[in-house]
Amino acid sequence: MDRSTPKAMTDTPVGRRSMLALAGLPLLLAGCGTVGTTSLTRGGRSASDVRVATYLTPSYKDLYPGIEMFVDTAAEAEGVSVDLYDSGTLLNAEQTIPGLLQGVADVVVQTSSYVSTSYPILGVYELPFVNEGFEQIRRALAFDGPLTQLINETLRPRGLVSLGSMPTTPEWLFTVDRPVEKPEDVRGLRIRTAGHVEGEVIRKLGGSPVSMSSAELYEALERGTIDGMVSYMGTVISRDLQNVLRFGTEAHFGDYSVDAYANVDWYDALPNATREALRNGGRMLNEQGTDHQVAVHEDTYRGIIESSGVEVLTLDEQQTTRFRKATTPVLEWWKQKVDDPDLVERALKLVRSA
């Protein structure tokens, strides 16, 4: 496995994703020698030479090992070689899915918050307060489980296949100047969000969602440009944000996943052995990758956050009910985005019954 030299992370939220990401792809494609997504070779490479791209960096000590597990497991198969390009060295966050569809990479590892805008079915497990939280979502996203199969049935006609998902622990609402214990506390706050579902949550609570890269967060929080952020623990620690945040409301304000995607035409044309190698990698990402992430959060990250002076607030049943009621319109908004009532009900049932 060949890992590229990490560069600065390019983690840009949905609101700032523009057509500029597509503009640079022709040059990337020329440099990669891509000859088409349905061919068994790309730029003279064998079908068993797999190019994996992600914008995530090794600083994400909770998530990155899962990506390494995916790559290392796939590369164990005889005749299969895997090159990992991390930290945006091949495709940055905005270019990941367009680059995959156009053949720059064979497989990409991307967070669902970037993908669910164009593929809204993924929002079924990003929604706030609609189920029992992380463990239920983890069961729902089990490797090759019925929800994963339903998601792939929806993605495949649009060019993608998911090879495996690593759900993240729930997103909390972190703030600087005042704690959030009831929906009204969010009114008027400028909150950084990293996905369109999160953004809608903040809007329905009366706040203003703000899009910015995670690299900008520390200064923005310190200067008061924003009042807080919706985030899982990994972003806080990887950016040392516990040094500027003062409150963290521990509740299910959202979830997302880290997923391995392949171009469906390329994947379907692969030899059986290569497809099986990638599936084995996807299972490893889903199972042991998630185990590692949870252990890091429980054993290390939570303690760092609490010992830094961030006051962690846990909602009781009554408070949770108020947030659930206040964010119910987000569910209706998501249903309209999917625009398929039967698909919506099937997906929601699989999450809620997991």
Residuewise pLDDT in 10s, the chain (354 residues): 444 333 333 333 333 333 444 455 544 544 444 433 333 445 556 667 899 999 999 989 999 999 999 999 999 999 999 999 999 999 998 899 999 999 999 999 999 988 999 999 999 999 999 888 899 999 999 999 999 999 999 999 999 999 999 999 999 999 999 999 999 999 999 999 988 999 999 999 999 999 988 889 999 999 999 999 999 999 999 999 999 999 999 999 999 999 999 999 999 999 999 999 999 999 999 999 999 999 999 999 999 999 999 999 999 999 999 999 999 999 999 999 999 999 999 999 999 999
Residue type for position 296: V
Distance CA 96, CA 102 (A): 10
Instruction: Write the CATH number of the domain with boundaries 172-254+302-352.
Output: 3.40.190.170
Q: Where are the beta strands (DSSP E) in the chain?
A: 2-3, 49-54, 81-85, 107-111, 160-167, 172-175, 190-192, 208-210, 228-231, 247-250, 257-263, 311-314
Distance CA 346, CA 145 (A): 13
Return the residue matching tokens 């019954």: 353
Spatial contact of 251 and 172, defined as CB atoms under 8 Å apart: yes
Strand pairing category for 49-54 and 247-250: unpaired
Determine the pLDDT at residue 132.
Answer: 81
3-class secondary structure for 230-293? EECHHHHHHCCHHHCCCEEEECCCCCCEEEEEEEHHHHHCCCHHHHHHHHHHHHHHHHHHHHHH
Which residues face 108 on adjacent strands? 53, 261
- The structure tokens listed for 222 are 């310190």
Distance CA 109, CA 156 (A): 17
Within this chain, domains 2-168+257-298 and 172-254+302-352 share the same CATH topology: yes
Distance CA 72, CA 83 (A): 10
DSSP letter for 210, please.
E
Residue type for position 179: P
Overall residue count recorded for the chain in this entry = 354
Determine the pLDDT at residue 214.
Answer: 84
- The structure tokens listed for 167 are 């759900």
Determine the pLDDT at residue 65.
Answer: 98
Spatial contact of 51 and 106, defined as CB atoms under 8 Å apart: yes
Q: If we measure between CA atoms, which residue out of 280, 276, 271 comes closest to residue 164? A: 280
Half-sphere exposure of 260 (CA within 13 A, CB side): 30
3-state DSSP assignment of residue 164: strand
Determine the pLDDT at residue 213.
Answer: 83
Spatial contact of 279 and 70, defined as CB atoms under 8 Å apart: no
Domain ranges, ordered by start, for the chain: 2-168+257-298, 172-254+302-352
Which residues, in sequence order, are CB contacts of 167 under 8 Å at separation 6+?
A: 125, 134, 137, 138, 141, 255, 256, 257, 290
- Which CA distances in Å does 79 have to 76, 103, 282? 9, 21, 18
CATH classification for the domain delimited by 2-168+257-298, as one of 3.40.190.290, 3.40.228.10, 3.90.650.10, 3.40.190.170: 3.40.190.170
Distance CA 162, CA 283 (A): 11
Which residues, in sequence order, are CB contacts of 111 under 8 Å at separation 6+?
A: 56, 194, 256, 257, 258, 259
Spatial contact of 124 and 167, defined as CB atoms under 8 Å apart: no
Distance CA 91, CA 17 (A): 14
Spatial contact of 63 and 293, defined as CB atoms under 8 Å apart: yes
